[in-house]
Structure 1
């Protein structure tokens, strides 16, 4: 989500196999006319296609965020409820919804108007350049990782005990052609053997990989896509140590996190296991999402490096 004005929209990216409802510019405009007419005069441009959501830029300062399948619709509702409360507590910008949309004009789910945040998608840039802001990401996650209220969302795929994911993840790691498969399997098994999280459930972003981080040349500028927001074990977020950074960046991230939160060694063993678990998911659709496939390969390489 760069602040620079983007080019005229080109052809859409390949359709993700799980997308159930697409949103073209005309439908986005119709929803604005129906529900937020004061915004309907702004140009809809710069479409970005994600795994669960589709984003259109709206003018220079806003964006429209639409779930594209029924499973992701509740995730937008979680963002709408919780991000306005969490945003003031975090030291980095997040896309707290500015307006809320509802089903209409043939579109079946809630949607959001969010700020267009500054920076470039970290996954598209060189890994070595991230070390300078590794402590800032540690600070953002440390600020988020505080005890969550009892009614915080539950996510069966994030923040849960690793044993809950073993049937699925173990099969993926064992049965899919993967780079550094033995390293990934060992990391996963080490995590299963480590003591489980026994603290209070803390807020968990759920997906702080390089595709959901924005940065400029010197700083982390935003943490985006809180669709997987939930309460649980912070280790599933700390997996970003291997997903985002090389050895130097990882050392800086871990050191600052230890200063702020002091998580025990078992938490980092589980974090490494979570990183391994994400590799087959990131590599599952390389043609539709080549940038995420690159993150998956890099994660495997970082795990193999130490």
Structure 2
């Protein structure tokens, strides 16, 4: 199969297939209802009963990612201050489905869409505490357990800027002139080509589809840990710009600690880069809700204190 987009599947995962795999490998769950609850770039997500959620890779690249999750997430328990899915069931490849898969504890919550600025701001301290603790995990221990280093080449700002200009060319015919100009003006202002390396353990993919909030709109969980890697903290700190409104950013840094200007440059860039990709996918899938959330995320990221 030739994929036109990075979110296209290499392998179709159907509900009947999931039922068969769970029946054969985890018969104690076979009487529980199974319901599709999500389709990400890398995995299909099914809720099993009230207490569990299973993720099945739909792209070849996701296989190693889900293996990383299963191995490292149990080691992070003492470092994570927000709820996260805990691996419980480790599925094995079969003749029907050639990939490993994972079953986790189910986390209640919804994706943070349509929140007010004050609801976003209310999570500043919780997010800062979470990332400060996660980034304190020993990087040597992560490497010893197979975690890659900077697999996305985050330090090359010039290269990422080129990618974003390509994304903008594709987006331009779908978005308003005001939104197009705002992104183009931002990219013109990015003049640094490369930043100095720094190393922490990263979640690696913090955005609206990998964060959960409770009924009050406060952060209640972090999901999808397949992009765990050792790299520059600016990648995770994108949430300072993508999730938090300008007036809440100082509260974040008072808890997390101050960072240098290069880190802020990378954080803001990723806060625009990731929702640009989400926006492109939403347009392809005709998902107006996610498209609007991506637009608002970029608007928030480009807003100054």
Report the Cα distance in structure 1 between the residues aligned to 2:154 and 2:108, rounded to whole angstroms: 28
Cα offset for 1:285?
Answer: 2.2
Which position in structure 2 is the counterpart of 1:256?
Answer: 255
Q: Deviations over 1:226-251 (max 9, x none)?
A: 11111100101111122212223334
Q: Is the 8 A contact 1:183 1:303 kept in 2?
A: no
Trace 1:107-126 onto structure 2 (pairs within 5 A): 107-123=97-113, 125-126=115-116
Post-superposition offset of 1:185: 4.3
Q: Tell me the residue number matched to 1:279.
A: 275
Task: Tell me, in whole angstroms, the C-alpha distance in 2 between the residues paired with 1:219 and 1:158.
Answer: 32
> Shift of the alpha carbon at 1:104?
1.9
**Scaled by the length of structure 1, what TM-score is found?**
0.83
Q: CA deviation at 1:133?
A: 1.8
Q: CA deviation at 1:23?
A: 2.0
Residues 254 and 211 (structure 1), Cα distance of their counterparts in 2 relative to 1, 3 Å cut: farther
Q: TM-score with structure 2 length normalisation?
A: 0.83
Instruction: Indicate how the Cα distance of structure 1 residues 89 and 17 shifts in structure 2: closer, same or farther if over 3 A, else same.
Output: closer
User: Offset at 1:52?
Assistant: 1.6
- Rounded Cα–Cα distance in structure 2 between residues aligned with 1:28 and 1:298: 36
More relative contact order, 1 or 2 (CA 8 Å, 6+ apart)? 1
- CA 1:111 to 1:142, structure 2 compared with 1: closer, same or farther past 3 Å? same
> Could you tell me which of 167, 178, 196 is aligned with 1:172?
167
2:18 is aligned with 1:28: yes
Deviation at 1:46, TM superposition (A): 4.5
**Aligned Cα root-mean-square deviation (Å):** 2.6
1:269 aligns with 2:268: no
Once residues 197 and 185 of structure 1 are traced to their aligned partners in structure 2, the CA distance between those partners, rounded to angstroms, is: 25
SS of the residue 1:57 aligns to: strand
Which residue of structure 2 lines up, in the alignment, with residue 299 of structure 1? 297
SS in 2 for 1:112: strand
Distance 1:32 1:127 in 2: 42
Q: Find the residue that maps to 2:221 and give its secondary structure.
A: strand
Gaps of 5+ in 1: 1-15
Matched, 1:145 2:135: yes
2:10 & 2:157 partners in 1: Cα distance? 30
Count of aligned positions: 288
1:59 deviates by: 0.6
Give the secondary structure class of the aligned counterpart of 2:297: helix
Paired residue for 2:3?
A: none
Aligned to 2:201: 203
Residue 35 of structure 2 contacts residue 47 of structure 2 at CA under 8 Å; is this kept in 1?
yes
Change (3 A) 1:103 1:127: farther
What per-residue deviation string (whole Å, max 9, x for no partner) do you get for residues 59-99 of structure 1?
11101111111122221111111111113311111113111
In structure 1, the residue matched to 2:38 is: 48
Deviation of 1:130 (Å): 2.2
CA distance in 2 between counterparts of 1:57 and 1:264 reads 42
**1:139-168 C-alpha deviation (Å, 9 max, x unpaired):** 111111134223422453374442453442
Deviation at residue 196 of structure 1 after TM alignment: 1.6
1:32 to 1:197, Cα distance in 2 relative to 1, 3 A: same
Equivalent-residue separation in structure 2 for 1:30 and 1:40 (angstroms) = 9
Match of 1:95 among 65, 70, 85: 85
Gaps of 5+ in 2: 1-5
- CA 1:117 to 1:208, structure 2 compared with 1: closer, same or farther past 3 Å? same
- Residue 234 (structure 2) aligns with: 235
Q: Which stretch shows the higher mean deviation, 240-249 or 56-65?
A: 240-249
